[in-house]
């Protein structure tokens, strides 16, 4: 019996038992905290494995390979010396061997272990009825690093041993069968040689290990660099309190749209928006607990009645947790409608949105509905989700600052200069078809701006990802510069979105990453 220590446990291994016709190896698990021992039998027989439904990668790969052979596929068991087992099947359609991992439900993604799980590979051997094969090169883009770790024997001796075993396996085959296999061997050798010279595609995102208990995967360091769990992040999952941001953006969208539809000129529009800004600034300067503002002009104030139309400002007031009332004598009062805290966090968002709107209208050569989105109309903003990031700066650079709608806040990743990520999961798993997203540069340090990034969507809460957009060599001209990016591949419903920022503007000058805001816009249903 031997023992193998893990996190808060000791595995007691190596007892052979036999239960009737069922050969097994019995593992025992003893918790180092409470000393309770749990028996974990490992059955070598596939039928017994299906009966018990308890096993590790070796048993499941054995079972899956049996299934493949039963259905007539040429299959071989793949043994990874860093402790994993999977299957390869030969595809006559593709003319090559395909990677199949039954444990993690992944196929034809041979870089899964090196790129997703973060394994430092050494030897990967294919075991078939007609021979054994060194297929390591199929599973790596770091062949020279792998070579430095292959120290069991020299490469020529390893190759000779595998060749001798293969010849022994083929002794009973006809000369025609041997020639056919040798042709296939040469074709595979040429394919594997090409693999070690192939360039890695950094746009491909592969997950960390999915099978096995989380604690076990943590102990093995197989969560992967893009793992979405808490264990691979330097910060906790945080909930976005930003429903008011969506409501404010929607209200501005309706307001400006109404102005344009009714033919109000550009100059008059800017005057209206500046008047609204003055009103909100005056409100912000009033007392927090009893916030209110009396409008001397009464209901005929130019904000509420322009060119014989009534502007739809009530939805904006509602988004700010405000309301308007009429005093004795006909004067209008803007006052609190709900919790004063809601108004306090919403007013800065509205003022920043107003500044963006005024700036955008000022810069427009033409002023019409067709020119408003992007970047002016911002309806259907996704809100109230949860956020997980690769890291954050406390207290002023937390991950949720990317979604709070305020200029002066930002998400800052101290170690994100050469790569970082942030994941947004929708509230209650709601599915959205992402139509566009908007990024805004932060308040300072242009060298920390994102330059290259990939946006991905997931329909299963973050287990698997599809690329929605990819941008390279992007530049933000100034601070608080908002840029809108349309999603070309609409129709992919997602309940989680991941931004993988690959590089900042000047990674030599800084190790940090920062972004002022991220806004996600769903397609109208």
Active site residues: 57, 84, 101
> How far apart (Å, rounded) are the C-alpha atoms in residues 208 and 217?
9
> How far apart (Å, rounded) are the C-alpha atoms in residues 102 and 106?
7
Hey, is 287 helix, strand or coil? coil
389 contacts 399 by C-beta, under 8 angstroms: yes
Dihedral sign for Cα atoms in the order 411, 415, 416, 421: negative
Q: Residue 129: how many CA atoms within 13 Å on its side-chain side?
A: 10
- Alpha helix (H) residue ranges in 196-301: 214-220, 243-261, 266-284
CA angle 349, 275, 339 (to 5 degrees): 40
> How far apart (Å, rounded) are the C-alpha atoms in residues 342 and 322?
9
DSSP state of 39: E
Q: First and final CA of the chain: distance in angstroms?
A: 62
Q: What is the dihedral of CA 509, 513, 516, 519, to 10 degrees?
A: 140
Hey, is 80 helix, strand or coil? strand
What separation in angstroms does the CA of 250 have from each of 176, 311, 354, 380? Answer: 73, 14, 13, 7
Q: Which residue has the tokens 């007892």?
A: 15
306 contacts 297 by C-beta, under 8 angstroms: no
Beta-bridged to residue 132, according to DSSP, are 127
Hey, is 254 helix, strand or coil? helix
Dihedral sign for Cα atoms in the order 473, 475, 480, 481: negative
The H-or-E segment that residue 35 falls in is none
Residue 504, class by beta-carbon neighbours within 10 Å (0-12 exposed, 13-18 middle, 19+ buried)?
A: buried
481 contacts 406 by C-beta, under 8 angstroms: no
Pairing of strands 496-504, 450-458: antiparallel
Q: What is the DSSP string of 167-203?
A: HHHTTTS-HHHHHHHHHHHHHHHHHHHHHTTSPP-TT
> How far apart (Å, rounded) are the C-alpha atoms in residues 284 and 276?
12
């Amino acid at each position: 019996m031997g023992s193998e220590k893990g996190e808060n446990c000791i595995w007691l291994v190596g007892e052979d038992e036999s239960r009737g016709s069922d050969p097994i190896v019995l593992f025992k698990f003893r918790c180092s905290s409470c000393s309770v021992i749990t028996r974990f039998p490992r059955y070598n027989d596939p039928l017994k494995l299906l009966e018990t439904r308890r096993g590790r990668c070796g048993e499941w790969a054995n079972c899956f390979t049996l299934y493949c052979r039963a259905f007539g596929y040429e299959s071989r068991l793949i043994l990874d010396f860093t402790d994993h087992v999977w299957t390869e099947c030969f595809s006559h359609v593709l003319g090559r061997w395909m990677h199949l991992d039954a444990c993690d439900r992944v196929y034809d993604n041979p870089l899964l272990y090196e790129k997703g799980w973060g394994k430092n590979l050494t030897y990967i051997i294919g075991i078939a009825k007609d021979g054994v094969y060194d297929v390591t090169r199929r599973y790596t883009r770091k062949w020279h690093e792998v070579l430095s770790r292959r120290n069991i024997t020299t490469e020529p001796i390893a190759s000779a041993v595998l060749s001798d075993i293969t010849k022994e396996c083929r002794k009973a085959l006809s000369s025609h069968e041997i020639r056919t296999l040798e042709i296939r061997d040469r074709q595979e050798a040429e394919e594997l040689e090409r693999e070690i010279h192939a360039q890695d595609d950094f746009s491909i995102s592969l997950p960390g290990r999915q099978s096995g208990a989380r604690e076990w995967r943590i102990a093995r360091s197989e969560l992967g660099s893009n793992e979405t769990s808490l264990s691979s992040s330097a910060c906790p999952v945080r909930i976005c309190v930003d429903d008011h941001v969506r409501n404010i953006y929607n209200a501005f969208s309706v307001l400006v749209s109404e102005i344009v539809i009714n033919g109000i000129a550009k100059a008059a529009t800017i005057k209206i928006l500046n008047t609204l800004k003055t009103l909100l600034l005056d409100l912000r300067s009033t007392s927090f607990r009893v916030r209110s503002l009396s409008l001397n002009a009464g209901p005929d104030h130019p904000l509420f009645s322009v060119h014989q139309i009534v502007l739809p400002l009530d939805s904006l007031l509602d988004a700010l947790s405000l309301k308007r009332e009429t005093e004795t004598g006909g004067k209008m009062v803007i006052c609190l409608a709900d919790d004063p805290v809601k108004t306090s966090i919403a007013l800065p968002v509205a003022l920043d949105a107003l500044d963006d709107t005024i700036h955008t209208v000022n810069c427009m050569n033409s002023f019409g509905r067709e020119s408003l989105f992007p970047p002016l109309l911002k309806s259907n903003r996704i809100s109230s989700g949860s956020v997980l990031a690769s890291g954050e700066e406390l207290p002023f650079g937390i991950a949720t600052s990317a979604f709070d709608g305020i200029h002066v806040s930002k998400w800052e990743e101290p170690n994100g200069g050469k790569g970082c990520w942030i994941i947004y999961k929708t509230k209650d798993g709601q599915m959205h078809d992402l139509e566009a997203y908007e990024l805004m540069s932060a308040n300072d340090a242009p060298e920390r701006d994102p330059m290259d990034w990939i946006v991905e969507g997931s329909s299963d809460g973050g287990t698997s990802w599809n690329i929605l957009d990819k941008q390279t060599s992007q530049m933000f001209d100034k601070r608080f510069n908002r840029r809108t990016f349309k999603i070309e591949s609409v129709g992919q419903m997602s309940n989680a979105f991941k931004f993988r920022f690959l590089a900042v503007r000047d990674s030599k000058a800084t190790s940090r990453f920062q972004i002022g805001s991220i806004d996600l816009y769903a397609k109208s249903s």
